[in-house]
Amino acid sequence: MIQNLFDGILVGSILSLGAIGLTMVMHMLRFANFSHAELLSLGAYVTFVFDKLLESMVPALSQTIGGLSLTFSLIFAIILSMGVTGVSAIIIDWLVFRRIRDSAGPLSMVFASFGVALIVRNLISLIFGLKPKLYSEEITFAVRVSLDPLILIKLDQVFVLCMALVIMLIFHFVLSRTTFGYALKAVSENPTLSQINGVRLALMIRLIWLIGGGLAAVAGVFYGLNNQVSFLMGKDLVLSLFAAVIVGGIGSIYGAVVGGFLVGLASNMALLILPSGYKPAVPFLIILIILSIRPTGLFGEKK
Amino acid sequence: MSDTVLNVQSLTAGYVPGLPILHDVNMRLGRGEIVAVIGPNGAGKSTLIKAIAGLVLVEEGTIMLGARNLVGIRPDEMAIFGIAYVPQTNNIFRTLTIRQNLMLAAKRSDGLVDDLIERMFTLFEILRDKQLDKGGKLSGGQRQMLAIAMALVAEPTLILMDEPTAGLAPKVAEEILALVQDIAEKGVSIIFVEQNVKAALRISNRTYILAEGRNQIDGSTQELMEGQVIKEIYLGGRRLETS
Amino acid sequence: MIGIVSYLVFFLTMGFVLSIAVLGLNLQWGYTGLFNGGVAAFFGAGAYGVILFGGSNKAGQLIGFGLPYPFAVAGAVLLAGLLAWIVGLITTHLRHDYLAIATFGVAIAVENFARNAEPITGGAKGLRGFERPFETVINDPFWFNLAYLIFVFVVLIIVYNILENIGQSPFGRLLRAIREDEVAAQSLGKSPARVRLQAFIFGSMIMGLSGALYATFYAFISPQDIVPILTFQIWSMLIVGGSGNNKGAVFGTLIVWAGWVGSGWVLTQFAPVEMQLYIGTIQFIMIGLIIVLTLLIRPKGLLPEKLIISRSVARVKPE
Ligand SMILES: Nc1ncnc2c1ncn2[C@@H]1O[C@H](COP(=O)(O)OP(=O)(O)OP(=O)(O)O)[C@@H](O)[C@H]1O
Ligand SMILES: [Mg+2]
């Protein structure tokens, strides 16, 4: 029970990070982006590559931090990967979505995002192989927090959870204290009025992809640390991310954060009553329930 | 006659390519002048203002600001040319505080922002008290004041206002109109759309009448007041309802 | 020689079975503008449905009604329709991409159910052993398959004609009007949400029919047959052919299906050994590329829709 609670919160924090970008894109560009989850696996693999590169270039960086299995090189790799993944998101938008946005409706973008997801996911598996990867071959042992009930927690997991919370807090300050934050809020409330007030929409869209991609990369790495780095990560997470966005209400960044935690918790708590094989279907049930009782989500605006 | 600030010539513009709303519209605005645009509902008044602000598709014609053609300039660049636009509806951000609205509208982040905002608060004391409230909490009149303050805070030379008094109590509407006159006296040129024909005629230097997307008649307000056609057209209520 | 012919029979049978699903999708997307991201779910409901309703009750198996074949097919189609009704009722009146998300989810849930609900669906092993009609009468695999091909072809012709008739009917025009401009359609006094729901259910039932024919052909169904890639294959078939156009839908199906089968054959023959594991991966990239490139380069497909409605409804949106 408490173990499920902890796992739920942990997965929830990862989903929250991933859902922030998705909710911004769904609100601003008005389409459900089925390829957003692939940014998580892209970020995870790019981090993997940078990590190995840094380790071989500067062996000193391969030292682990404290009692964690994480190395310094991994931390730097994550930062680099955030940039690369964010820029990749901008490039994908520029190559595909922008063109379709100009010529066809939002549903064509949904459609294209399925195609993009297939391409990105399978290119990754073609390049990196079908076998999952691990950031560290070292086996870290879980700390037994209590025996009855049995609760096992890894230090890495605590680190991931704390980092996820710190990143969200930083993002919160950017949103609430900077002109960029106001502009972002302004654009999501009324794009035309914000344009009149000097906000460059094209630039904002690029920034949204950059931020969404960067946060997705972190989420992907954290998911990879917690499980393993696999090209199927996006496929496994896409529905949970949508569930988080819908629970929070499309366009609400804080909603996405809360939604992420709720979906993570619900998915893990559901295991108390459902056989574990049914776990992938839980986000779908959450989506159905929310859409039938409160389609605007917890924090969404009414139409 | 004062020197021309803005000159709209044979403007054909609309929302969908090939389906223009405005046809061959002409309009001129001098420095420090107040020009009113009146006309029945759906005449294209808002569309004309939006065309100048860069928000609709211009198919033909020019919009000259001095020697510069504004056609093709993005709405977010208009501020560079000293143009501010107060839309008819949804003209403030409900989810931002009053202060944040003004900070965004000031389009600058240097030390001057606080000064400029302070000046707006002296102009609209009521906004100072509410500066930390969300825009959504303001009453109709206060909302309109904030919208005008958002235009002024960018220090424009030309302000486009779309029905700034719509839906306001008569007394508040009077205040807004007096403010428009004050602004113009400081050398800012103003184009404003007004439903209340009498008010429009009273405070404007010149008035344009638009119907079905075309100029109907124009001239100095004085001439219009005296002219027979104009009386027939709207004071007689044939085309417009005067309120 | 007989090998090639029997392969051709297989190729066409599958091509026609898939065409039926693509026609169902065309009703939803092409005519009505509804995004169904879970074609595999409705196809799967039909496929499992026909074996559950028509198959006999075996040991360890909870359900198996052993109904006569026509009833089994009808049950399968209704099952797909029921699933569509549940999802559609909740989503067709909401923001349009909610339907995409919910249908995508239902496909995952159905596959998940098929994998786990062993007493009903046979779990990962699937459901095997289903006596196909006339199998004992014809009693020769080649001739049986040929007869089945003709049967499937007839069904395809029937579905095609029904959809063509719908397309020309006032209902079909209403669907297109809703696709083009929901507000305008609403002002005609029709409830777009209701009409969208009807089109969604009917389209999904056609997909269910396609699934039933698929499962009948193999007398076997497993979760492997209803994985998400099926949805994307069917989508790529529709968009290549030309959404909104039924001829295009069938044409696109045969082209993409040939491309799929052909690329699979070429890759198994000529790809280096270490690449053999990645044949599926390459084919998935191919499907993704077909979707994206068609949308970018030729969004109306090879055979574009012939617009029959007049453009009298001016696209006027309120401020
Ligand atoms: N976003 C839009 N897209 C398409 N057509 C529009 C749009 N906005 C307005 N129109 C059409 O343009 C025409 C002129 O509208 P406009 O808003 O300019 O009129 P107006 O004179 O400002 O009327 P009002 O007095 O009601 O404000 C109308 O027929 C209207 O339906
Ligand atoms: Mg107007």
- Assess if residue A61 is contained within a domain: yes
B12 — phi, psi (to 5°)? -120, 120
- Report whether pLDDT(B2) > 70: no
Residue with tokens 């692939």: A38
Residue A255 lies inside a defined structural domain of this protein: yes
SS3 C128: strand
Instruction: Indicate the range of A146-160, A194-208, B43-57, C203-217 predicted with least confidence.
Output: A146-160
Q: Residue B231: is its pLDDT beyond 60?
A: no
Give the mutation target among B12, B15, B210 for probing the ligand 1 site: most ligand atoms within 8 A of CB: B15
Is 60 exceeded by the pLDDT of residue A55?
yes
Identify whether A299 is part of a domain: no
Integer Cα distance of A272 and C308 in angstroms: 56
Quick check: B87 and A194 CB within 8 A? no
Distance CA A6, CA C4 (A): 59
Q: Using CB atoms, pick whichever of B55, B85, B96 lies closest to residue A186.
A: B96
Backbone torsions φ then ψ of C102, nearest 5 degrees: -65, -40
| pLDDT for res C66 | 80
| Reduced 3-state DSSP string for chain B | CCCEEEEEEEEEEEEECCEEEEEEEEEEEECCCEEEEECCCCCCHHHHHHHHCCCCEEEEEEEEECCEECCCCCHHHHHHHCEEEECCCCCCCCCCEHHHHHHHHHCCCCCHHHHHHHHHHHHCHHHHHCCCCEHHHCCHHHHHHHHHHHHHCCCCCEEEEECCCCCCCHHHHHHHHHHHHHHHHCCCEEEEECCCHHHHHHHCCEEEEEECCEEEEEEEHHHHHHCHHHHHHHHCCCCCCCC
Q: Whole-angstrom Cα distance, residue A28 to residue A53?
A: 36
Please count the other Cβ atoms lying within 10 Å of the Cβ belonging to residue C42: 38
B121–chain A nearest CA distance, Å: 19
Task: Count the neighbouring beta carbons within 10 Å of the beta carbon of residue B231.
Answer: 13
Nearest to A34 by CA among C291, B195, B52, B145: C291
Q: How many domains does chain A have?
A: 1
| Total beta-carbon pairs less than 8 A apart between chain A and chain B | 59
Testing ligand 1's pocket by substitution, the residue of B11, B19, B23, B47 carrying the most ligand atoms inside 8 A of its CB is B47
For A107, the domain range is 2-293
Would residue A298 count as lying in a domain?
A: no
Q: How far apart are CA B15 and CA B53, in angstroms?
A: 14
Instruction: Give the span between the Cα atoms of C196 and C203, in whole angstroms.
Output: 10
**pLDDT value at residue B238:** 43
Q: Whose CA is nearest to atom 24 of ligand 1?
A: B41
Tell me the pTM.
0.88
Cα separation, C210 vs C192, whole angstroms: 27
Asked whether the beta carbons of residue A197 and residue B87 sit closer than 8 angstroms, the reply is no
A194 lies within 8 A of chain B by CB: yes
CB within 6 Å of ligand 1 — which residues? B 15, 21, 39, 41-47, 88; C 316-317, 319
Q: Which residue of C has its CA nearest to A121?
A: C285
Nearest to C105 by CA among B63, B100, A243: A243
- The three-point CA angle B19-B25-B26 to 5° equals 160
| Chain A hits for B85, Cβ within 8 Å | 196
Share of chain A above pLDDT 90, in %: 66
- B138-163 pLDDT, tens digit per residue, is 998 899 999 999 999 999 999 999 99
Calpha distance C47→C115 (Å, rounded):
14
Average per-residue pLDDT in chain C? Answer: 89
Residue B87 above 90 pLDDT?
yes
Q: What are the pLDDT digits (tens) for A56-101?
A: 998 888 888 877 788 899 999 999 999 999 999 999 999 999 999 8
Q: Rounded to whole angstroms, how far apart are CA atoms A266 and A288?
A: 14
For residue A168, give the nearest of A254, A242, A238 by alpha carbon. Answer: A254
* pLDDT computed for residue C14 by the predictor: 96
Tell me what pLDDT residue B223 has: 60
What is the model's pLDDT at position B243? 34
Q: Taking CB atoms and an 8 Å cutoff, what residues of chain C touch B21?
A: none
CATH at A160: 1.10.3470
Chains with 3+ CB–CB pairs under 8 A to C are: A, B
Q: Which residues of A touch B91 (CB under 8 A)?
A: 193
* pLDDT score at A2: 82
* pLDDT-derived band at B220, boundaries 50, 70, 90: low
Contact B210, B50 (CB under 8 A): no
In ligand 1, the atom with minimum distance to the C-alpha of B49 is 18
Residue B96: pLDDT above 60?
yes
Q: Which two tokens stand for residue C13?
A: 């049978």
C296 and A99 within 8 Å at the Cβ level: the answer is yes
Question: How does pLDDT run across C118-149, given as a tens digit for each residue?
Answer: 888 888 888 887 778 888 788 888 899 999 99
Please determine, for residue C224, whether its predicted confidence score (pLDDT) is greater than 80.
yes
pLDDT tens for C98-107 read: 999 999 999 9
Averaged over C197-207, what is the pLDDT? 97
Q: Does the pLDDT value for residue C233 go beyond 80?
A: yes
Neighbouring chains to B with at least 3 Cβ pairs closer than 8 Å: A, C
**Residue whose pair of structure tokens reads 């939006």 in the numeric block:** B50
Q: Contact B127/A206 with Cβ under 8 angstroms?
A: no
Average model confidence (pLDDT) for chain A?
91
Which pLDDT score is estimated for A75? 93
Whether residue A46 is contained in a domain is answered as yes
**Distance from the first to the final alpha carbon of chain C:** 68
Give A263 to chain C, closest Cα distance, Å.
Answer: 14
Q: Please state, in angstroms and rounded to a whole number, the distance separating the CA atoms of residues A62 and A69.
A: 10
Cβ distance A185 to B95 less than 8 Å, yes or no, reads: yes
Residue A301 lies in a domain: no
